[in-house]
Amino acid sequence: MKAFTNVHLPDGGSANVMIGGERIAAIGGDIPAGAETIDGQGKLLAPGIVDLGVFRVDGPAFRFGGIVRAALMPDQSPPLDDPGLIQRAAYSGKPDIWVHPLAAATRGLKGEELAEFGLMQAAGAKAVATGRRWIADSGVMLRVMRYAAAFDLTVVSHAEDSGLTGSAVATAGETATRLGLPAAPAEAEAMAIARDLALAEISGARLHVRQVTTAAGFDLIRAAKVRGLPVTCGITPAHLLLSDLAVSDFRTFAHLSPPLRSEADRHAALEAVRDGTIDVIASGHDPRGPEDKRLPFADSAAGAAGAETLLALSLNLVRDGVIALERLFELIAANPSRLLGLEGGRLEPGAPADLILVDQDAPWRVDSGRMRAAAGNTPFDKLPVQGRVLRLFKDGREIA
């Protein structure tokens, strides 16, 4: 038996937290005789982060960021479209970090022939995903949704109409025009979402739009929720804190997918977090090395390393009064866990003892050259932040 003492909790309270084996035994009450005590020194004890949608298993970065479970996107080499590949991915982080692979919706992620969801679910897949791309063929996407619904699997979609985006690397507007970058209208997102919502209504499938980044997209998600559709959506800190102004110096670290949007859309995203439209904040962790980023902007690869900065950047939402601390841990732990059908993400008796001890006020500076990720390509390089994970526990066992 372990007992955390002198800690405060995300709901604003404070209590002793007892761990029995791999699970939380009790919150509150006296410490049992003989229990190993851990003095939290007044810091925050919270559920470990469940990161929905990473592109690489990156243990050192996950540990630094307080991530105990990560949903791995199918965009691997080769794509996760086979039960054997799913099984291998599911074991890739154990015992320290649990990886939950998402099955490729189509073979090779080509958007044509359906992959075998049932066998991949049996091998450990927790959802079905279209990957980095939208499935343009509506007939194929409808079959994906119907097949996923039959296995009670959530469909995780990428929302950009490929007929509009083409080879675009930026959002159409003043910044892209001034820089001469290939750009697509922000409406490409809403068009993709509208199509997928219609297919979700036909099929009865659960739909999670992995990243929604525009005001029009949020309006569609809100309306769908009002109609009772089983739809959820996510976003990354980059799209909450940065706009397309961040690419003004052709900085490839700010080349993301979807691309950064206008300031108006960024403020719409903050409002969507505030009013509950957004269900998940994820890192979108996609480390890219110099061979992918030290290129002209239009030729560089989209993506950023986000695992290490997810918590610290998201805590800005609490400090700025956008959401409460308890709500933040719903967005980065409880909701992702629920969407994937996992037990984690909760701080309550009986839940897995996946915990992080956090100093919310600890200052540090994001430094791309010193990150623990496989590559340090972050648009937040040199930004001062606050909030650091001091200790991490997976199933009650401390992870160094």
Domain architecture of the chain: domains with CATH:
48-345+361-368 (3.20.20.140)
The residues, any chain, with a CB within 8 Å of residue 276's CB and separated by 6 or more, are none
Measured between its terminal Cα atoms, the distance across the chain in Å is 19
What whole-number distance in Å separates Cα of residue 312 and Cα of residue 153?
31
* Of 267, 269, 256, 261, nearest in space to 243 by CA: 261
What is the model's pLDDT at position 217? 98
* pLDDT score at 374: 87
The mean pLDDT of the chain is 96
List the structure tokens of 162. Answer: 């490929």
pLDDT (average), residues 112-133: 96
Residue with tokens 């080879």: 167
pLDDT tier, 34 (very low <50, low <70, confident <90, very high otherwise): confident
Across 79-105, average pLDDT: 95
- Residue 393 token pair: 């526990």
SS3 78: coil
pLDDT at 254 over 90: yes
Check residue 299 and report its DSSP letter. Answer: G
Q: What is the tens place of the pLDDT at every residue in 127-186?
A: 999 999 999 999 999 999 999 999 999 999 999 999 999 999 999 999 999 999 999 999
Per-residue pLDDT at 84: 97
288: three-class secondary structure by DSSP: coil
Q: Which of 19-28, 139-148, 214-223, 228-237 shows the lowest per-residue confidence on average (mean pLDDT)? A: 19-28
Average pLDDT of the segment spanning 292-315:
96
Q: For the chain, give the percent of residues with pLDDT over 70.
A: 100
Residue 33 in this model has a pLDDT that exceeds 80: yes
Overall average pLDDT of the 289-307 stretch? 95
Give the pLDDT score at 397. 94
pLDDT > 90: what percent of the chain? 94
Give the pLDDT of residue 23. 95
Give the per-residue pLDDT at 35. 84
Angle between helical axes of 187-203 and 215-226 (0-180°, round to 10): 20
Do 81 and 106 meet the contact criterion of CB atoms below 8 Å apart? yes
Confidence of residue 265 (pLDDT cuts 50, 70, 90): very high
* pLDDT score recorded for residue 95: 84
Q: How many CB atoms lie within 10 A of CB 346?
A: 19
Residue-wise pLDDT tens digits, 340-388: 999 989 999 999 999 999 999 999 999 999 999 988 899 999 999 999 9
Q: Please say if the pLDDT value at position 42 is more than 90.
A: yes
Average pLDDT in the 232-254 region? 96
